[in-house]
């Protein structure tokens, strides 16, 4: 079953959230309906990046990477390349574990 890694951007506060799901559309609806503790305080959200991996094991490894400093650097370069600004190190954060 394919798994998707995704990056959401809060339209209201311009912060980013990295997550993983098997259904992007449903997960975005859950985030925007306030079903996620962290994201409900920053509504609404939009998907600004996603990628597909083969399974949850591979997805978890990739998710940890995207939340690391190296992964944040990768995402920052990606967003800059496509002209997605403003973007700062402070806005590309992850919720507390």
Q: What's the N-to-C CA distance of the chain in angstroms?
A: 26
Query: Which domains, ranges and CATH numbers included, belong to the chain?
Result: 3-81 (3.40.1440)
* Radius of gyration of the CA atoms of the chain, in A: 13
Quick: pLDDT tens for 50-66.
999 999 999 999 999 99
pLDDT attached to residue 57: 96
pLDDT attached to residue 1: 84
pTM: 0.83
């Amino acid at each position: 079953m394919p798994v998707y890694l995704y990056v959401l951007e809060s339209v209201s506060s311009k912060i980013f959230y990295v997550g993983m799901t098997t259904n992007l559309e449903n997960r975005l609806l859950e985030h925007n309906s306030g079903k996620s503790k962290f994201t409900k305080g920053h509504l609404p959200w939009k998907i600004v990046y996603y990628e597909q991996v083969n399974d949850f094991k591979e997805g978890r490894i990739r998710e940890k990477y995207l939340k690391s400093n190296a992964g944040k650097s990768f995402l920052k370069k990606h967003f800059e390349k496509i002209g997605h600004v403003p973007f700062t190190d402070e806005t590309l954060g992850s919720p507390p574990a």
